[in-house]
């Protein structure tokens, strides 16, 4: 019988954890923000607990179901036979996480969970457990997401990052599993297998160095822990656990096969690192040096050895006294990467993007990761010549003087301000794709959208820059200079490398808005309201996700339960994904493009929502709609036509301002008596036909569907909700 598990992980590493869990025997592995879901036997769960380098916790799910009220949550928890999991005389801890409209206080949710468990045990055994927050016999977690609550037992106990070798970690310690994730992201296992060296020139308490050594030795991270959450759990199989521990000990190499070194200017840090290494069982294998990074070089000449890895978490914030000292540390890393370690791989974790720019080398990849609550940038550098500047989407940044111009600095200040204020709203609402800048200053007529990856692209960020084509009255050279000024400062302000910035020029298209520009066929995963979406940042003028419709799609998801949903001009089907996730009984998505219907199918599949109940139809939506003769067939309809289209595959020309009244009437003809039509358009000077107001109940929901990042552009779309009178 397969069990269901959830393994949590620091943000930015769920894709790596998914691969690791799969390698450890997990089945039906699905990564999500902050962790992965998987299935398997108890052996599989134990394997992940013992062997995972990146997981923070491993939770065993014991119940799950839709919950609308606190009473339903209580009944869900009370419905579990807790006698199978714990001694009624034992100790218990409870925690509630996630968001639920009926349980807005997590402390209240934890108390409700505790009451349900204790009441069930008291009624069945006449006994009840004691509450113990520190190392209880059993810890139970409730997690709410989109109205569903899952109940799980924490098999780890203490966080898996607590390996047991570190007693003191300095002022700003790096969590062990975060360090391991960074090493895997840098490719250290393959580098070590090829015989490459390892160096952390600012090693602090030695976490990177020790984790690198354990990887090279194939040492299971859980071997030295003295406490596990399953020890008080009645389902624990002690013989199976001991079998796995013995196998892990027998597999571990006895001698380090590669050179692994740590260095630091701080003598006390070196002493701490050496003590931690001894507790980790690798004190004799590692070399620690009290010195400055400028004095370091590879042990083996580049011609005689494969590329090594320079891995560093330079001091900033709590770890360093002055900003200039932090700046000097980052500059020194750049000198090392361009000098004696130019042939090595490099990876740098920095807490401040402006400091990362001082390294002076263009990173080959930039990832966003979190060290606890601190948002950081992970900069990866490929071996070879370190380039300072690089072209992005065919646009070459002229020189650093351009970035210092008055116009560039004015633009940078505005983007910096938007990052602070809009970024705060994005984090609060857990929005990963949002508009950072929208022609806030008319002379810089750009829209800048920020995309944050999940899944295989976890932690990676891109900027999608759309230039509004200047009118003929604007000097083309002046427009080009302003564009280059903007692009010259975006990497420094945002911490996103030029290689991850895309530039497009938005003009009226002759064949609708979906014209293909390239053929790279490279898709990335992003997330919206807990749902995954594929985007393409290279091949089309639009990416596959219209950001201004974010709240409209969530409105559809909230209204879809039990409804028959119709999505006309469905594009990549993101609204259909929301409807299906919201519990739509069925859906039909209509679009003329086979490419976009395939994209919609992939979005449904990505979220585990592909089903015969959710159909995709390739057809001219206008013609299909006019031909429907069967009467009301849908309870919820989303009509979002292009503003203008004269595609050769359509009959005639579609002009939404001219044709919307007919489209709406046809939709209302197939809408059930109590149903809802949501009509949206991006036509700039749109006016709803007065006869539509007379014929139907109409609510203008434009303001209610305007996301926080489009408040400065209230005409980005018009949106209406229509019902039968």
**What CATH number does residue 353 fall under?**
3.40.50.150
Q: What is the pLDDT of residue 29?
A: 93
CA quadruple 553, 554, 559, 561: dihedral positive or negative?
positive
Is 239 a member of any domain? no
- pTM (2 d.p.): 0.69
- Give all strands (DSSP E) within 322-443, no chain letters: 345-350, 365-371, 374-381, 434-438
- The verdict on 286 and 185 lying in the same domain is yes
Residue finishing a domain among 349, 381, 413: 381
Radius of gyration, CA atoms only, the chain: 28
E strand or H helix at 467: strand 461-468
Tell me the three-class secondary structure of 613-667, residue by residue. CEEEEECCHHHHHHHCCCCCCEEEEEECCCCEECCCCCCCCEEHHHHHHHHHHHH
Is 395 a member of any domain? no
- The verdict on 491 and 578 lying in the same domain is no
Residue finishing a domain among 440, 475, 506: 506
- The verdict on 193 and 273 lying in the same domain is yes
Strands 3-8 and 57-66: antiparallel
Is 386 a member of any domain? no
Is 266 a member of any domain? yes
Number of domains in the chain: 4
Q: What is the pLDDT of residue 324?
A: 67
Residue finishing a domain among 440, 471, 506: 506
Q: Tell me how far the alpha carbon of residue 123 is from its chain's centroid.
A: 43
- Yes or no: say if 164 and 226 are a contact pair by the CB < 8 Å rule: yes
Q: What is the pLDDT of residue 509?
A: 42
3-state class of 143 per DSSP? strand
Q: Which residues contact 606 (CB under 8 A, 6 or more apart)?
A: 525, 532, 533, 534
Tokens read off for 374: 């601190």
Is 357 a member of any domain? yes
- Only one residue has tokens 């349980």, namely 103
- The verdict on 466 and 348 lying in the same domain is no
Give the single-character DSSP code of 246.
Answer: H
Tokens read off for 108: 């209240």
What is the domain-level CATH number for residue 130? 3.30.2130.30
Nearest to 484 by CA among 469, 503, 497, 463: 503
What is the domain-level CATH number for residue 493? 3.30.750.80
- The verdict on 278 and 372 lying in the same domain is yes
- The verdict on 89 and 186 lying in the same domain is no
Q: What is the pLDDT of residue 475?
A: 74
Q: How far lies 438's CA from each of 62, 264, 386, 469, 488, in Å?
A: 47, 45, 33, 14, 17
- The verdict on 180 and 134 lying in the same domain is no
Is 592 a member of any domain? yes
Is 223 a member of any domain? no
The domain in which residue 266 lies consists of 176-218+253-381
CA distance 491 to 484: 12
Q: Mean pLDDT in each 10-residue stretch from start to end of the chain (725 residues)?
A: 92 91 94 88 97 97 94 96 95 93 90 96 94 93 91 95 76 82 96 96 95 97 94 96 97 94 94 94 94 92 85 71 73 92 94 80 85 84 70 41 81 93 91 94 91 87 86 73 86 85 64 48 90 91 93 96 96 97 96 94 95 95 88 93 68 81 94 96 89 94 96 92 95
- The verdict on 576 and 427 lying in the same domain is no
- The verdict on 705 and 606 lying in the same domain is yes
DSSP code string of 343-367: TSEEEEEES-HHHHHTT-S--SEEE
- The verdict on 21 and 130 lying in the same domain is yes
- The verdict on 200 and 98 lying in the same domain is no
Is 584 a member of any domain? yes
Q: What is the pLDDT of residue 384?
A: 81
- The verdict on 288 and 318 lying in the same domain is yes
- Only one residue has tokens 């006869």, namely 691
């Amino acid at each position: 019988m397969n069990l269901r598990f959830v393994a949590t992980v620091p943000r930015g590493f769920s894709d790596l954890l998914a691969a690791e869990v799969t390698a450890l025997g997990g089945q039906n592995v699905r990564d999500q923000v902050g962790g992965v879901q998987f299935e398997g036997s108890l052996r599989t769960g134990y394997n992940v607990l013992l062997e995972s380098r990146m997981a923070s916790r491993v939770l065993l799910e014991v119940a799950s179901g839709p919950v609308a009220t606190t009473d339903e949550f209580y009944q869900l928890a009370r419905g579990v036979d807790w006698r199978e999991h714990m001694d009624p005389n034992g100790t218990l801890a409870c925690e509630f996480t996630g968001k639920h409209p009926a349980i807005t206080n997590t402390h209240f949710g934890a108390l409700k969970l505790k009451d349900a468990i204790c009441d069930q045990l008291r009624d069945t055994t006449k006994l009840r457990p004691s509450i113990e927050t520190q190392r209880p016999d059993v810890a139970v977690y409730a997690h709410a997401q989109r109205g569903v609550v899952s109940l799980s037992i924490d098999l780890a106990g203490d966080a898996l990052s607590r390996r047991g070798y570190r007693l003191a970690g300095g002022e700003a310690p790096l969590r062990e599993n975060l360090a391991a994730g960074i090493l895997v992201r840098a490719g250290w296992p393959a580098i070590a297998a090829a015989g490459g060296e390892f160096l952390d020139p600012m090693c602090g308490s030695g976490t990177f160095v020790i984790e690198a050594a354990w990887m090279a030795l194939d040492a299971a991270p859980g071997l030295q822990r003295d406490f596990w959450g399953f020890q008080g759990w009645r389902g624990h199989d002690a013989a199976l656990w001991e079998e796995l521990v013995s196998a892990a000990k027998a597999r571990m190499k006895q001698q380090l096969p590669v050179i692994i070194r740590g260095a630091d200017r701080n003598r006390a840090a070196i002493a701490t690192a050496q003590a931690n290494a001894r507790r980790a069982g690798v004190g004799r294998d590692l070399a620690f040096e009290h010195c400055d990074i400028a004095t370091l070089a590879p042990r083996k000449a580049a011609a005689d050895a494969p590329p090594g890895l320079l891995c560093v978490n330079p001091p900033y914030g709590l770890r360093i006294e002055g900003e200039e000292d932090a700046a000097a540390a980052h500059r020194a890393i750049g000198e090392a990467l361009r000098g004696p370690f130019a042939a090595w791989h490099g990876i740098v974790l920095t807490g401040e993007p402006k400091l990362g720019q001082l390294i002076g080398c263009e990173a080959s990849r930039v990832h966003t990761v979190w060290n606890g609550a601190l948002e950081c940038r992970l900069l990866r550098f490929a071996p070879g010549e370190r380039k300072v500047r690089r072209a992005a989407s065919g646009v070459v940044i002229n020189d650093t003087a351009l970035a210092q111009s008055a116009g560039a600095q004015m633009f940078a200040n505005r983007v910096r301000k938007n990052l602070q204020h809009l970024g705060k709203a994005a984090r609060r609402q857990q929005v990963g794709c949002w508009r950072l800048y929208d022609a806030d200053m008319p002379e810089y007529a750009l829209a800048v959208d920020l995309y944050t990856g999940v899944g295989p692209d976890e932690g990676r960020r891109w900027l999608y820059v759309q230039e509004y084509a200047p009118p003929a009255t604007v000097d083309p050279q002046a427009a080009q200079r302003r564009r280059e000024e903007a692009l010259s400062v975006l990497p420094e302000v945002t911490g996103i490398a030029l290689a991850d910035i895309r530039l497009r020029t938005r003009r009226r298209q002759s064949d609708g808005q979906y014209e293909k520009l390239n053929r790279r066929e490279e898709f990335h995963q992003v997330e919206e309201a807990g749902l995954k979406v594929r985007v393409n940042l290279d091949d089309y003028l639009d990416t596959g996700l219209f950001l201004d419709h974010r709240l409209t799609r969530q409105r559809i998801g909230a209204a879809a339960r039990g409804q028959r949903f119709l999505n006309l001009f469905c594009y990549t089907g993101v609204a259909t994904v929301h409807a299906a996730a919201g519990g739509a009984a069925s859906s039909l998505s209509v679009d003329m493009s086979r490419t976009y219907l395939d994209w919609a199918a992939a979005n449904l599949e990505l979220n585990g929502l592909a089903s015969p109940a959710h159909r995709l139809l390739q057809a001219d939506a206008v013609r299909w709609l006019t031909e429907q003769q069967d009467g009301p067939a849908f309870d919820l309809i989303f009509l979002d036509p292009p503003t203008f289209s004269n595609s050769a595959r359509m009959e005639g020309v579609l002009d939404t301002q001219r044709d919307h009244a007919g489209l709406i009437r046809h939709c209302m003809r197939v809408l059930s008596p109590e149903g809802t039509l949501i009509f949206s358009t991006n036509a700039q000077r749109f006016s709803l036909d007065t006869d539509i107001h007379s014929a139907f109940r109409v609510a203008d929901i434009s303001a209610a569907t305007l996301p926080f990042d489009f408040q400065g552009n209230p005409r980005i779309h018009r949106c209406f909700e229509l019902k039968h009178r």
